[in-house]
Structure 1
């Protein structure tokens, strides 16, 4: 473990005050009423309901609503700009919103005044749209949470469209994944017939659709186009291009062409699509074609770390059907009808490293920074499961180890870490278009070997180690980042300070697992409820461990490897939140610490 940080400069101290004066100053500065904001909010809400001192009239198409300019301006950049820029609305004290329902606006205003919103299946999408228009990011998060909790076959496509429109990528991904996994039922549901063409193109581009054959997809597309032949006929070629029609029998292809002609959906360019055969599909290099599997399986990966004094570049994999951890993964590079299911060897990283940051998105694992035996690393790599290869990313702005990473709405974030000079509070976001790291608002505290995770539209930074004066200090403090306002805010501290911990998200809760508190290695686990801002203890791991890998698979938390305080580990434990128990599962091949773990999807084993 790392010792005290000697790179930190002593903090300057102010001149010593006389004892009594200093005590009086501390008494005055330290007084606070933690419940005052609740009282103030209640008073402002009562003033709004009774129209006391309201100075703005909002006219919707069916209601007239009164509000306070200063409250709306404080809550919404939209209102702030409109009411303070000398526009007509500011001068006349009236705002006209013709396309807005008074009931929906009242829900939004009630959230502004109280922080609470009554969301239902009937109003949530309209509230979502208005919250995005008014740039009220906290309300958007609540809408995302409500929609995700109520996702089902009947709503998944409409939720995907709303989430994609409002740039809520995490919600869009969840809705699309449900649509793919329930595709057979979705094809016969009325919601499929009202989906937008771009939505169907995206759905059909997924590598895994739970259907028995391509014919079921063709039937769904034909039924969709038949709802409005004149408008939707133009979308048939690009939609059918997404299917593996070449695997169908020639007689069946002819029957489908005849049906299209019968329904007035036939176009000449459809003939070339239906004439393709299986061999053409195998060797065709069209970028839009996706090899499809009707099931995907979650597999566990561990990579990087140190073992017996040697830094590692290799990756180990464990999947259902494996009797042990292997350095191979199911082959996703060929469609299932081309040849029997096979395994492929996992390639090694370019750089051996330990204490790197890792994040997973779209079945790609991103490895960032870390350390070698000689230096800290700025290099970043990405493992693509579909192509079974590593590719490079832009280097980090600063070589660091002990940083942590997560994805939020499709954006990769990296926080904290330790460089050769100091611990960092920096937050960086990766810009895919520019292939560069962009600075965001730094954390309140400098932290290394912390936990970072995204939950309900926010990023949480938990625990870690920092430097106070010349001394390293293990942290219990935690904070939350809002990307909409680019700000951090403190949240409830951990019950026990911990660094080198694991942090996982499961069932809308954060789990802080294990770590090191400065004197002992921990097996204890705390769970955070974001709606109550509260940490509580749950069952401890079987073994104390720090610097381990952590990931979630099939509703369980997996903790892999690490350091127990006496030895390096290759053991693996999983946590069942329903029974609040830990179980030992198959151990890894190598003992390793300072590693990372990830869960990715691969084609299901036969």
Structure 2
């Protein structure tokens, strides 16, 4: 039974364009202040559902619209935007301390990242020329090396990835014309192949995406010039999306989403587009699914 979104204690730092990683608990990483005025280096973690967020050591490089994933006992933050430019910076969080990792092969912002079997994948995003890309690169944690894998069928940035059944599900995003995409594509690392799966009902740029149970969820994001309150749920077995009835309290884009306790979605941060200026949000809501 899908219930309603419930207000939870806010982030300690309001930000949009943040990214999340789950290392036992969700972390909120980086982002931008209101109207993209400044990059954010702050990092905080959720101790328990319904409890407060706790600041941890900030990233050495403040940035927004990066990508992030956990591998082993480490969180990797990859690329992003600094001063309006994409960067190749990789920083690694381990035991409460940040250190510099091997840089991306080329600068990339607003990509999506995920880890499968000790290999980190970075898909899509915007390259040095601020053009949407279909390129996918993989980082072998054991050898500290990057290499290319098969590109996505479509070029897009501001997408997100969830891992389900050992495969990457690349959801939404925006193209070079800033059009929000309904696109969903799936990658099988075992065969190095992509397939196009059923599209969402609504185009979503920079939604919150997470996997819970047998479904993948896409929360909020930017639609056709507006932030969204809706959530869609993908059933891989049926290759079908459905739009859920519960609505976020406030339309939000450039937010993050994670799953806690196996069946509760947590949507945090983002931009609230209630006027001409994107307002950085500290809002946190949860939904039991």
* TM-score normalised by structure 1 residue count: 0.41
- Whether the 8 Å CA contact 1:300–1:318 is kept in 2: the answer is yes
Partner of 1:472: 178
Q: Distance in 2 between matches of 1:363 and 1:552?
A: 18
Once the two structures are superposed, the pairs formed by residues 223-262 of structure 1 within 5 Å of their partners are none
2:260 to 553, 559, 570: 553
- Whether the 8 Å CA contact 1:298–1:319 is kept in 2: the answer is no
Q: Distance in 1 between matches of 2:52 and 2:212?
A: 26
Q: Secondary structure at the match of 1:515?
A: coil
Partner of 2:111: 403
Q: Distance in 2 between matches of 1:322 and 1:537?
A: 25
2:203 to 493, 497, 506: 497
Q: Distance in 1 between matches of 2:51 and 2:188?
A: 43
1:313 counterpart = 2:21: no
Q: Which has the higher helix share?
A: 1
2:154 to 431, 435, 445: 445
Q: Distance in 2 between matches of 1:451 and 1:569?
A: 19
Once the two structures are superposed, the pairs formed by residues 320-335 of structure 1 within 5 Å of their partners are 320=48, 324-327=52-55
Displacement, 1:325? 2.9
1:570 to 262, 282, 287: 282
Deviations 1:240-296 (A, max 9, x none): xxxxxxxxxxxxxxxxxxxxxxxxxxxxxxxxxxxxxxxxxxxxxxxxxxxxxxxxx
Q: Distance in 2 between matches of 1:483 and 1:533?
A: 19
Once the two structures are superposed, the pairs formed by residues 155-166 of structure 1 within 5 Å of their partners are none
Partner of 1:22: none
1:506 to 201, 212, 222: 212
Displacement, 1:322? 9.1
Q: Secondary structure at the match of 1:310?
A: coil
- Whether the 8 Å CA contact 2:209–2:256 is kept in 1: the answer is no
Once the two structures are superposed, the pairs formed by residues 118-133 of structure 1 within 5 Å of their partners are none
1:394 counterpart = 2:102: yes
* TM-score normalised by structure 2 residue count: 0.84
- Whether the 8 Å CA contact 1:298–1:553 is kept in 2: the answer is no
Displacement, 1:366? 1.3
Q: Distance in 1 between matches of 2:269 and 2:87?
A: 22
Work out the number of aligned pairs and report it: 258
- Whether the 8 Å CA contact 1:298–1:554 is kept in 2: the answer is no
Q: Which has the higher strand share?
A: 2
In structure 2, stretches of 5+ residues that fail to align are 1-22
Deviations 1:490-549 (A, max 9, x none): 110111111111110000210011101132110111101100000011122222111112
Q: Distance in 1 between matches of 2:266 and 2:51?
A: 17
Distance change in 2, residues 1:441/1:382 (3 Å): same
In structure 1, stretches of 5+ residues that fail to align are 1-296, 328-345, 578-606
| Root-mean-square deviation (Å) | 1.9
- Whether the 8 Å CA contact 2:120–2:141 is kept in 1: the answer is no
Q: Secondary structure at the match of 2:282?
A: strand
Distance change in 2, residues 1:358/1:440 (3 Å): same
Distance change in 2, residues 1:314/1:519 (3 Å): closer
1:456 counterpart = 2:165: yes
Q: Distance in 1 between matches of 2:49 and 2:243?
A: 34
